[in-house]
Amino acid sequence: MTDPVLRVENLAKNFGGLRVTDDVTLDVLPGELHAVIGPNGAGKTTLINQISGLLSPDAGRILFGGEDVTRLAMHARAGRGLARSFQITSILPRFSVLENVALAVHARSGTSFRFLGRVATEEALNAPAMAALAQVGLGSRAGVPAGELSHGEKRALELAIALAMEPKLLLLDEPMAGTGRDETERLIAALRSLKGRFPMVLVEHDMDAVFALADRISVLIYGKILASGTPAQVRADPAVVTAYLGEELE
C-alpha cells in the first residue's frame, strides 16, 4: 500500500453547537481522483477549507506528503504544493486572464521580491501560464480582463490557476457549480486529461462528473463519512443509496 499524499485523521470542527466536521478520516493516494459527495450542508466546503488552511480544525490532524500541516498557514501549504479552487469564483477580476495564471506560475518560480524588470513580458512566466490556459481551453482569452469572462470560463480559469501551481495535490470545490452543459463537458474533459498527473480531491454535486472521473468516492453526510470506496462499492452501499443517492441514480 503506497503512502497517501494526503491523510486527514479524526478531523473535527464545531461552529457554535453544530458539529460541521465530525471525526473525519480519509486519505488520498498518489495519482487518484478522490471525490467527496454529499447533500448541501454536509460540510464539504468546510472540509476543504480545513485541508487548505482557511479554517483551523478543533481536533484531528492533516498530513500532507507525510508532514503534519495542521497548524501551517495557508500560503505555506500552497507553497508545498497544495492547490485549491473555490466554489465561489475567486480570481483577480481586474487582472488579465494571463496575469491571473502567471501569478500562480510566479509563486513557484524564484523570488517575488524583485523590484526591477517588467514582469508582464517575462516569458518564463507567460509560457507556462499560456500552457495551463490551453489545457482548460482558455488560450484565446488570455488578454481579456478576468472579470469579463463568462461564468463557465471563470470556473475554467480557477482550474488553470490551480494547474499553474504544479500542485502535488489539487482540491477542487465544486468546479462545475453553475456551469452550463457545454462548459461542464469541457471541464470534465480537462479533468480527465489531468487524471494521474497528480492526485485530486473533487467536491461535486454533478453525479455524472463524479462517476465519470472518480477513482474513489467518500460520502459526507452531516459532517461524517458515511461510506468510502470505489464508485461501484459506493453505488451499491445501501446506507448511501437511501441517505443520498436514491433519487439521483434513477
Partner 1 sequence: MADIATASPARRARLAGNALPLAIFLVFAVVPLFAGFRGEAYVLGLVTRVMIFAIAALALDLLVGYGALVSFGHAAFIGLGAYAVGILGAHGISDMLIALPVALVVSALFAFATGIVCLRTKGVYFIMITLAFGQMAYFTASSLAPYGGDDGLTIRMRSTLAGFQIFHSDRALYYVSLLALLGAYLLCRSLVASRFGRVYRGTRENPLRLATIGFEVYRYQLVAYVIAGALGGLSGFLLANAAEFVSPAYMSWQRSGELLIMVIFGGMGTLNGAIIGAAAFLLLEEWLSGITEHWKVIFGPLLVLVAVFAPGGLLGVWARLRRIGRD
Which residue, 104 or 214, is less far from partner 1 as judged by CB?
Answer: 104
State how far the Cα of 47 lies from the Cα of 65, in Å rounded to an integer: 18
Which residue, 92 or 243, is less far from partner 1 as judged by CB?
Answer: 92
Amino acid found at 122: E
Q: Among 236, 233, 162, 229, which residue's Cα sits nearest to residue 199?
A: 162
- Kindly identify the residues of this chain, within the stretch 127-146, that bind partner 1 according to CB under 8 A: 142-145
Which residue, 90 or 233, is less far from partner 1 as judged by CB?
Answer: 90
State how far the Cα of 229 lies from the Cα of 235, in Å rounded to an integer: 9
Q: How far is the CB of 126 from partner 1 (least distance, A)?
A: 6
59 beta partners = 12
**φ and ψ of 164, to 5 deg:** -65, -15
Q: What is the DSSP string of 145-191?
A: BGGGS-HHHHHHHHHHHHHHT--SEEEEE-TTTT--HHHHHHHHHHH
Among 5, 24, 47, 102, binds partner 1 (CB under 8 A): 102
Among 16, 17, 40, 118, binds partner 1 (CB under 8 A): 118
Q: How far is the CB of 133 from partner 1 (least distance, A)?
A: 12
Binding mask 50-79 for partner 1 (x = CB under 8 A): --x-x------------------xxxx-xx
Q: Can you give the C-alpha Rg of the chain in angstroms?
A: 18
Footprint of partner 1 (CB under 8 A): 52, 54, 73-76, 78-79, 83-84, 86, 90-96, 98-99, 102-104, 106-108, 111-122, 126, 142-145, 161, 165
